[in-house]
Amino acid sequence: MKGIERSFIYGVSVSGTNFTDREKETRRLKVNFENGLNVILISPRRMGKTSLVKKVQQEVDRKIVPIPTADWTPFIQWKFKEKGLSIDARYVTRICEVVQNQSSYVQQLAWNVMLNTEKEVTDAEFEQGVEDLMIQCNPLFLEQTRALTSFQMNFLRAIIAGQHSGFASQEILEKFQLGSKSNVSKMQKTLIEKDFIELRQDGLYISDPVLQLWLQCQQKV
């Protein structure tokens, strides 16, 4: 059994091709999310509630136009003020920039920063908030990337390094150890299907800004 890729994932939330069925629930939950309706999911344990919510959340976040930082600023400052705390607008801007204004991540990071703040946000509280976000997402991202091949991981590293096109050139193949030219097109297709990357007007990008940050942190370890 040595060397066999893990075929079935259980005990943790899943995504991409490991998420199956639940089409009706996904459509209904997405409509509720997009219309701001509160939802309660009831089922026995280990039935996929967390995976379902995360899948819909990611789809909705990418579909909805990100809320501008200028709109986030008064909202986040007001939330801090409610708790007797203060956050300068420049830290709200940094929160939004780190997560590319994706709504769920903006609020998660803002919450982390708030929890670390005694009175007023400083660089220390902000950086600790980001570190906490990495810790919170670590189990999910480890599970998501565990099944990726070394070539696929190298492909993601190439994108993080600023390479968004031209992956089939000999220079890029050798620089990032991507294998053969035919391997590149297969990897691109697979990584798009698994929601790791997305095609934009000027090339390929990591779909999830926090996954990108997590991958950057992993390279430094």
Within 10 A of 95 (CB to CB), how many other CB atoms are there? 28
Alpha carbon distance 171, 210 (integer Å): 29
Across-strand partners of 120? 86
> Degrees (nearest 5) of the Cα angle 163, 144, 45?
155
Q: Which tops the pLDDT comparison, 30 or 123?
A: 123
> Would the CATH topology of 69-141 be identical to that of 147-220?
no
| Of the candidates 134, 73, 86, 136, the residue with the CA atom closest to the CA atom of residue 114 | 86
- Using a 10 angstrom Cβ sphere, with 0-12 exposed, 13-18 middle and 19 or more buried, the burial of residue 167 is buried
3-state secondary structure of 123: helix
Q: Specify whether the CB–CB gap between 58 and 92 falls below 8 A.
A: no
Alpha carbon distance 10, 197 (integer Å): 24
pLDDT tens by residue, 18-66: 444 566 766 766 665 555 556 666 665 655 667 666 666 666 555 567 8
| Of the candidates 167, 171, 165, 169, the residue with the CA atom closest to the CA atom of residue 199 | 165
Whole-model pTM over 0.85: no
Query: What is the arithmetic mean of pLDDT over 197-207?
Result: 92
Q: How confident is the model at residue 3 (pLDDT cuts 50, 70, 90)?
A: very low
Is the CATH code 1.10.8 the one for domain 69-141?
yes
One DSSP character per residue, 20-89 reads -S-HHHHHHHHHHHHTT--------TTSSHHHHHHHHHHHHHHHSPPPPHHHHHHHHHHHHHHTT-B--H
- Overall fold of domain 147-220: Arc Repressor Mutant, subunit A (1.10.10)
Q: How confident is the model at residue 149 (pLDDT cuts 50, 70, 90)?
A: very high
Alpha carbon distance 11, 52 (integer Å): 14
User: What average pLDDT does the chain have?
Assistant: 82
Give me the residue spans of the domains in the chain. 16-63, 69-141, 147-220
Torsion of CA 205, 207, 210, 212, to 10 degrees: -30
Alpha carbon distance 175, 48 (integer Å): 40
Q: What per-residue confidence (pLDDT) applies to 7?
A: 45
